[in-house]
Structure 1
Amino acid sequence: MKTIMGALGVSLLATCALAEGALHKVAIHVNQNDPAVLNMALNNVQNLNAYYMEQGDNVEIELVAYGPGLNMFVPGKSPVADRVSTMGLEMENLKFSACGNTLQKMSAKAGADIVLMDEAQVVPSGVVRLIELQQQGYAYVRP
């Protein structure tokens, strides 16, 4: 009886998971301050989101920026600021992570604190964040 219930329980869990749609997790790496690369990364986000929505699946996306790519989140310097703001409002499944190491170095070089867009959350290290996400099962994409 225990084996039948165990198999039945697993089967029911699998059916519920399929009914809710699969969960996909994607980390996108940005370390260049090239408008074409920044736009391609945001295009990747939009395309991934649209694809999985059409499939009835769910997707969690985290875009991690460090080095020159951190300019993506600097007001007045970001060539994609409007897109970041819009996507941040429209997509609850999207996180923007900014490297704290890069932010400290940029602030020291500027002689003042660099303020980032509200959409960006600061993480201690962009590289470490990418490793953590991959260890959590996130697929890795670098445009």
Structure 2
Amino acid sequence: MRKILGMIAVGVMALWAAAALAQDGLADHKLALQISDNNPQKMNTVLNVAANVTRYYESQGETVEVRIVAFNAGLHMLREDTSPVLERLGAFGASMPNVTFAACGNTIAGMTKKEGKEPPIVKIAEHVPAGVVDLMTLNEAGWTVIRP
């Protein structure tokens, strides 16, 4: 009886692991892009890389998931009031559902303290506790992390 229960437990664990991998592995490729500078040229470069990588893999019949993580001064990219690429962000939200954006909670807290109010972040951005930790977690999960 113990052997049977042990075999069932191992089988259930194997199925659970396979399901988790299948769910996590929906995209053929996974790219995380870092933006940590308040520099319009670098922000546009990050968006260009996301668009170019997406077009390339789509032309190959493959899928790619791209996550742009903004922290430190790079958070200005995702601010509704200071983003030099605000119009492009709207276009990405509408035309590239494979590209997601993450806004660093630590940076938001720092800006809130300095400015006396929370900075307005674009609606398409997900708030994460810490941008660097988000990048580390993605890297540990097999994502390619690039700082253009």
1:76 CA drift (Å): 2.2
| SS of corresponding position for 2:74 | helix
Residue 132 (structure 1) aligned to one of 137, 140, 147 = 137
1:66 CA drift (Å): 0.1
Residue 34 (structure 1) aligned to one of 39, 47, 54 = 39
TM-score (norm 2): 0.81
1:101 CA drift (Å): 0.2
1:37 CA drift (Å): 0.3
Give the corresponding residue for 2:103: 98
The whole-number CA distance in structure 2 between the counterparts of 1:131 and 1:113 is: 26
Aligned 8 A contact 2:27 2:65 in 1: no
Aligned pairs, number: 123
| Percentage identity across paired residues of the two chains | 39
Does 1:48 pair with 2:16? no
1:94 CA drift (Å): 1.0
Where has structure 1 moved over 2 Å in runs of 4 or more? none
The whole-number CA distance in structure 1 between the counterparts of 2:119 and 2:27 is: 39
1:22 CA drift (Å): 6.8
Residue 128 (structure 2) aligned to one of 123, 129, 133 = 123
Give the corresponding residue for 1:58: 63
Mind listing any 5+ residue stretches in structure 2 that lack a counterpart? 1-25
